[in-house]
Every structure is written in structure tokens, then in C-alpha cells.
Amino acid sequence: MFNLLIFKGIEKITLLDFPGLVSTVVFVGGCNMRCPYCHNPDLINNINVLPDIKEKEVIEFLKSKKNWIDAVTITGGEPTIHPELKRFIKRVKKLGFKVKLDTNGLNPKLLRELLSERLLDYIAMDIKASPQKYPKACGVKASISKINQSIKLIRNSGVDYEFRTTVVPGIHTKTDLVRIGKWLKGSKKYVLQQFRSEFPTLDPKYMHKPTYSLEELKNFKQALESYFDEVEIRGG
């Protein structure tokens, strides 16, 4: 008997997560990074306290809303740490939904499998920082080799995608963001996400910290536009 994927949260209907489509967002628990500014600390530190949402419940909900929902976004936490992920995506695709995956890029092996089997319709990969600052930004000694593999897979996949960075004062400067631009040069879309310090963070020191102003984000955007087809500010 195969294991079923357990979820820790669901946003039943949103217009914001999958560009151009109505989406249901499901959240898995657990992550292989420890970003200090993470907005979902309960999905890392309090997995066992959060109520379980069983895969069967999610599938039944999706079946009941087939006329209203176009897609399913799988986020977390980090979805690719769960071996049950591919089988769940296959179930969702059989129901006729498009699938968007949010990932930190540390599991290029699974990402390659999902892409080769045409199971993904949109990928959003978090670029935590420039390579030099990855340990500070993600809280672990992440493999830049694996990150680079995932970047290459996504760029060459033919699947719609975006790379995105949550911009945090004290971690990201304009110089750091330009380094990211040079690193990802030629990519389709890059998103600057505003850090929201009013929410709980994995490291409490990041709560209520000053954030970059919209004008500062626009300045960063202008500095990056020559590296990407499109640069977007989100949440500014």
C-alpha cells in the first residue's frame, strides 16, 4: 500500500498564486532549509501541532470544484522532500487540473522526473540569495551545485516558470540582487517579493524589522531589467 501525502494547510480558491488561473493552494509540512525570515515557521517547527489534512480530503474537494478551479499549487515547506509528491501530482493531473510547484531547488533529481513525465505546468523556484550569501539566507549549507542543476532544468524545460527572491534588508543589498541577475541572466521571469515583517518569522529577530520601500524595490527592479525578459515586484 502506498503512502498518502499529508497536508498542513489549504487555501481553497485564489486568483493570486497561479498566473492567469484560479487555483487551490495546498501546503506540505517540513523543509530542508531554515531561512530565518520564513513566513511559515509552523510548517517547520510545529508540524505535529498543525492538524492533518488528508490527501483524500484534498482530492474530494478538487473533484467537487472541477467547474470552478483550473489548477493546484503545491507549496510548503518544501514539497520535494516528500517521496509521495509525484504520485499525488499524477492524481491531480488525471482529474484535469494544471499543477504549479513551488520549490527551493534542492532536489533536482525529483524535479527532473516531474518534468520528464510532463507533470508540471508552472514552476516557481525561490532563489534565496546570490551564491556567496546562500548559507546566511537559507540557514543551512545548501548545495549550490544542486541549485544550479535545478535552474538549468527549469530554464530548459519548456514549462512556464519564474525565479523569485524575498528581499530582506540585512541579507539582500542592491549589489547582491545584481549578482543574482548576472547568475540567472537570460531567464524568463524574475520576481522581487517584499518581505513582510508583520508576520511571524522562523527567527523572531526578523519580526518587525524595517522593510524596503516600494521606491527602493523599483530601484532594484530597474537595475535587474537588463538580465531578464520580465522583472516583477510582488507585495510592494
Exposure string for 6-37, b = 16+ CB within 10 A, e = fewer: bbbbeeeeeeebbeebebbbbbbbebebebbb
* Residue 1 resides in a domain: no
Fill in the amino acid letter for 72: V
Average pLDDT of span 70-83: 96
Q: Name the grid cell of 230.
A: 520580465
Q: Give the separation between CA 53 and CA 10, rounded to whole angstroms.
A: 8
pTM: 0.95
pLDDT > 70: what percent of the chain? 98
Contact 228, 181 (CB under 8 A): yes
The pLDDT-based confidence of 223 (bands split at 50, 70, 90) is: very high
Q: What is the pLDDT of residue 236?
A: 67
For residue 86, what is the domain's CATH number?
Answer: 3.20.20.70
- Domain containing 17 equals 6-234
Number of domains the chain contains: 1
pLDDT digits over 6-23, tens only? 899 999 999 989 999 999
Per-residue pLDDT band for 102 (boundaries 50, 70, 90) equals very high
Give the pLDDT confidence score for residue 2 in this predicted structure.
54
Q: How far apart are CA 231 and CA 225, in angstroms?
A: 6
Indicate whether 172 belongs to any domain. Answer: yes
pLDDT (0 to 100) of residue 41: 86
